[in-house]
Amino acid sequence: MSTPLPGFENIEGPGGTDGADRTGRADRTEGAEHGNGHGSRAPHASQGPRQPGAAAGAPRREIAPGAIHLPGWLPLARQRELVTACRGWAQGPAPIRHTKLPRGGVMSVQTVCIGWHWQPYSYTRTADDVNGARVAAFPDWMVELGRHALAAAYQDATAGHGYTPDTALINFYDGQAKLGMHQDKEERSPAPVVSLSIGDTCVFRFGNTETRTKPYTDVELASGDLFVFGGPSRFAYHGVTKVRPGTGDPACGLTSGRLNITMRVTGLDG
């Protein structure tokens, strides 16, 4: 069964490391991720994200049309709340695990989903490749967070209106995990993807909609960073080429590794 989440589940422990197997470095194009989750407690909605531009450090940057990097958007306290929520989902109803790929590979990333369960290459309500359990509900507070994220990224108070993400893939990367270039394309909606990063910095490669090769831009995603891709970039290829171990601030709630949450609108009913 699934391996525990080194460095994540046991965040009080020694700076952990490696997860079960890192044999696979999964290409999402070829593999997937998935997960499941289970009820969690909502981070306090009272503490909103920072205003655009208020983060220390790097400025907001449009990486490609519709693809925005907003560094330091999530305050540390909010990061910790998300880590706590994700830790709960990682435990069940379907535990986080390394997704198996159709051709026998295993992803190096560990994933758990909420709302809908993703496995290569479709969404279901139950985690059929894990334990068959129905995944945790997608909480209202995360819908709100997604709406705030769009408003901040697009610098438009109305940008989040009507945005109702119904699934999130929650990925945990140890120091060796990677994610191959892929498109998020199982969704039947063109609504933007909202990505939040916590813990160690990674190199996020954001490319184009035609090919998984160049042209692309490598972006350092650090703890608290928001990345949104919508509009003409919604179906661009992207991936994680490397994690930089030891770069995260333990005050974010993770002593090692990287957590990434991507919210999406599946466009599915039922």
Which positions lie near Fe ion, rule CB under 5 A? 184
Rounded-to-integer distance, Cα 98 and Cα 106, Å: 6
Of the pair 45, 58, the CB lying nearest ligand AKG is at: 58
Q: Any idea what DSSP says for residue 250?
A: G
Interacting partner of 147 out of Fe ion, ligand AKG, none (Cβ under 5 to 8 A depending on kind): none
User: Is 77:139 a contact under the CB 8 Å cutoff?
Assistant: no
Identify the CA nearest to 84 among candidates 9, 14, 7, 166: 9
C-alpha separations of 147 from 9, 41, 48, 58, 140 in Å = 28, 19, 11, 22, 11
Instruction: Tell me whether residue 47 or residue 211 sits nearer to ligand AKG (CB atom).
Output: 211
107 binds, among Fe ion, ligand AKG, none (CB under 5 to 8 A by kind): none
CA–CA dist 184, 195 (Å, integer): 12
User: Rule CB under 6 A: is residue 33 a binding residue for ligand AKG?
Assistant: yes
Q: Least distance from C-beta 184 to Fe ion, angstroms? A: 4
| 119, 167, 201, 262: which one binds ligand AKG (CB under 6 A) | 262
CB of 196 to Fe ion, least distance (A): 13
Give CA separation, 69 vs 60, 90, 221, in Å: 6, 27, 8
| Furthest-apart CA atoms within the chain: distance in Å | 45
Does 174 bind ligand AKG (CB under 6 A)? Our answer is: no
Closest CB to Fe ion among residues 118, 154: 118
Task: Name the residue among 231, 214, 224 with its Cα closest to residue 254.
Answer: 224
Minimum CB–partner distance for residue 158 and ligand AKG (Å): 26
CB 219 within 8 A of CB 206: yes
Question: Smaller CB distance to ligand AKG: residue 148 or 182?
Answer: 182
Of Fe ion, ligand AKG, none, which one does residue 33 interact with (CB within 5 to 8 Å by kind)?
ligand AKG
Place of tokens 């270039």: 181
Q: Residue numbers of the site for ligand AKG (CB under 6 A)?
A: 28, 33, 169, 171, 179, 184, 195, 197, 204, 221, 238, 240, 260, 262
